[in-house]
Amino acid sequence: MSRLASQAIKKIDFAADLFRQAKHAVVLTGAGVSTPSGIPDFRSEGTGLWSKSEAMEVASLSTFRYDPSKFYNWFRPLASKIINAAPNSAHTTLAEMGKAGYLKTVITQNIDVLHQKAGSKNVIEMHGTLRTLSCTQCFKQFESAPYLEIFVEAGALPHCPDCSAILKPDVILFGEQLPQKAWLKAQEAARHCDLMLIVGSSLEVLPVAGLPMQTLERGGHLIIINQIPTYLNVRADIVFTEDASTLLPLLAEEILNHG
């Protein structure tokens, strides 16, 4: 605890109390939980993926349909970072909290599968996953690793081994709807939890950004760990602006060792 100011330590104590009192806590994570693993976020000024003018056009369903190579050329550096990334202390801490019973569900906006690699079990992927690819013609699904490794190394676009059509990563592009099953499960988790922890999300992307409101409207508590303000800072019980990979282990230590 000596690494933080006394005010932050008091906030950690308060947050730990909320976790110990909660009967059903969930976490909503965004890009900020994975930046310590070397994966760029989407909205930081000048460095985020969406701060580049062409990104929203290239990372769209229409672009993929008409010119998949244009999408894949843009996607290649990000795919390389994701397949080579390892979970950081934020991911492993959330997994430990889940294993100890303090977190029931992980709702994530990330596509990098790092929560699962860290050991989290009940993960709802709101924006899809890079774990699999689907054929755009016969709709068969394949594990992405062997295809993406070849793509990252040699630039070879992934094609279906059965019908030769292009394979699309099972991630949600602009112009696509959220996975219906994941959206329904996330709403149920948000409505039934009595504590929601938000980690590394700017809460700017709808409809996921509205999930914490469903918790608040039913009397639940809200803890935010994010380095830039969100629209719900004024409604949160506690707001931390420290890096999640530093803050979360300290919070978990207080919860698990002093419970």
From the candidates 127, 159, 192, 258, which is the catalytic residue? Answer: 127
Q: Which residues of 135-156 are buried (b: 16+ CB within 10 A; e: fewer)?
A: bbeeeeebebeebbeebbeeee
- Please tell me the total number of residues recorded for the chain in this structure: 259
Would you call 127 a catalytic residue per the annotation? yes
Cis peptide before 229 (omega within 30 of 0): no
Name the nearest CA neighbour of 225 among 6, 20, 24, 35. Answer: 35
Tokens 């709101």 label which residue? Answer: 126
Q: Residue 103 CA to chain centroid, in angstroms?
A: 15
Annotated catalytic sites, by residue? 127
